[in-house]
């Protein structure tokens, strides 16, 4: 596998080795030993799978207690995936990095604990799968507003149209008002 650094050192793009021929392809999406050897040593406790239509934006989510690290990928379609550093003690606090994930590019994206995470669906639909280092705890879930001017995330909105949001995502906090990590 190939580890590609981003502007935020703890967030990385992972390109697995893909073996393919006319019959299809094979790739390992998680191998604890190989990932640990590459410096990505995590214990995952939950796998999730979501499907969304084009124009849906989910996020920017995080858990203020029991924070989750997420290893994310797309198995059908294409999304723009974003991680925002919410660790006040970090030199990259309030900065974001993003990557296009698709069934075609096979990329994975590591979003460490202490980051808000969100994605926007660019294709007609997308299947989004992710492994988490901590269980979902709805009482600790928080959301930062997707279009916070302070973050200035360059979402690749289809036809420039505003995304479709859940009710809770529509009222996410601005970074300046959000609960963040020490």
- Span 46-90, pLDDT tens digits: 999 999 999 999 999 999 999 999 999 999 999 999 999 999 999
How buried is 181 (Cβ within 10 angstroms: 0-12 exposed, 13-18 middle, 19+ buried)?
A: middle
120 is catalytic: no
Catalytic residue flag (residue 49): no
Is 47 part of any domain? yes
Of 95, 76, 77, nearest in space to 154 by CA: 95
**What is the pLDDT, as a whole number, of residue 78?**
98
* pLDDT tens, position by position, 22-43: 999 999 999 999 999 999 999 9
pLDDT tens per residue across span 111-152: 999 999 999 999 999 999 999 999 999 999 999 999 999 999
CATH of the domain at 163: 2.60.120.10
Domain interval for residue 173 = 2-18+28-177
Q: How many domains does the chain have?
A: 1
Say if 182 falls within a structural domain.
no
Which one from 49, 61, 117, 140 is the annotated catalytic residue?
A: 61
Q: Is residue 23 part of a domain?
A: no
The active-site residue, picked from 106, 130, 136, 140, is 130
Q: Where are the beta strands (DSSP E) in 28-95?
A: 46-53, 57-63, 70-76, 78-85
The answer to whether residue 34 sits within a structural domain is yes
């Amino acid at each position: 596998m190939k580890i590609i650094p981003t502007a935020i050192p703890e967030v990385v793009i992972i390109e697995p080795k893909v073996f393919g021929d006319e019959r299809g392809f094979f790739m390992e999406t998680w191998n604890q030993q190989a990932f640990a050897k590459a410096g990505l040593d995590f214990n995952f406790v939950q796998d999730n799978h979501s499907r969304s239509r084009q124009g849906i934006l989910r996020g920017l989510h995080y858990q203020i207690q029991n924070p989750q690290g997420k290893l994310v990928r797309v198995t059908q379609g294409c999304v723009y995936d974003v991680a925002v550093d919410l660790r006040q003690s970090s030199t990259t606090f309030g900065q974001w990095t993003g990557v296009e994930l698709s069934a075609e590019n096979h990329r994975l994206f590591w979003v460490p604990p202490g980051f808000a995470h969100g994605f926007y669906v660019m294709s007609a639909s997308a299947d989004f799968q992710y492994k988490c280092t901590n269980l979902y705890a709805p009482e600790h879930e928080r959301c930062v507003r997707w279009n916070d001017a302070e973050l200035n995330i360059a979402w690749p909105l289809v036809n420039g149209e505003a995304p479709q949001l859940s009710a809770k995502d529509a009222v996410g906090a601005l970074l300046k008002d959000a609960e963040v990590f020490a």
